[in-house]
A = this chain, B = another copy of it.
Amino acid sequence: MQPRPPDRTLRPDDGRLARGRRSRARIREAARALFRERGFDGATLRAIAARAGMGASSIYRHVQSKEELLIEELADLQEEAWRRFRAEDARDRPTRERVHRFLRVQHELLVADRDLTAIALRATTRPEARVARRVLALHDRTMGLLVEVLQMGRVRHDLDPEVDVLEAARALFHITLGARIPWANGLVQADACLQSIQAGVDLLFRGLSARQS
């Protein structure tokens, strides 16, 4: 299953591989459309397969689980978030502000699709599955990016030098993650979710910022 390390004689552009890529693309497209139409749980694998023009079992040639189909979207979205942030980022702004901006950009992208957040979290609760690792790797990546921002703040004495930037990044990330859960369950509106995130970040930054004693 899945790309799989090309066993021995790896052909660069075998006709079969090209066909496979096209199939994969069709599957992803169909999945994305159906996820949006009926939600993750409502979108049946058989339906996805039908729309992609193939049998249900064939999907498993290209994907390890249904969740993986959604997680790919998440990975893309995360890259997009970072790209947008980079584009509008001003490195000389205060660190707190930069973090706020990144989280706002990320939030705006995630808000478009409630299932994405929920299913990513769900995937995280299946320790045996590959997807779980994948999602956790995405988490790590986001935290790494936050570390980058924080570190820069530290070297220019924007942050208290005593703070552990890795722990700080973790805390920031987990605050945003946790704040999204009630939203994903429809208990709070998207903007209330964002406000909660920002309040948490501000709270944390009270302790992170350099004391101007």
Contacts and interface: CB of A to CB of B under 8 A. Distances in A.
Interface of A: 41, 114, 118-119, 121-122, 124-127, 132-133, 136, 139, 160, 163-164, 167-168, 170-171, 173-175, 177-179, 181-182, 184-187, 196, 199-200, 203-208
Given A125-B121, A127-B184, A203 B199 contact: no
Contact of A170 (B126, B173, B196): B196
Contacts of A160: 206
Q: Report which residue of A125, A164, A181, A184 has the largest number of chain B beta carbons within 10 angstroms of its beta carbon.
A: A125
Contacts of A121: 121-122, 124-125
Contacts of A114: 127
A99 B144 CA distance: 28
A157 to B, nearest CB: 16
Nearest to A177: B178
A199 to B, nearest CB: 4
Most buried by B among A133, A178, A182, A186: A178
Nearest to A171: B200
B122 A118 contact: no
A199 B170 CA distance: 10
Contact of A122 (B122, B170, B171, B174): B122
Contacts of A132: 185
Contact of A185 (B127, B185, B200, B208): B127
B125 A119 contact: yes
A131 to B, nearest CB: 11
Contacts of A204: 171, 203-204, 207
B205 A170 contact: no
Contact of A171 (B119, B175, B184): B175
Nearest to A164: B199
A132 B187 CA distance: 11
B207 A206 contact: yes
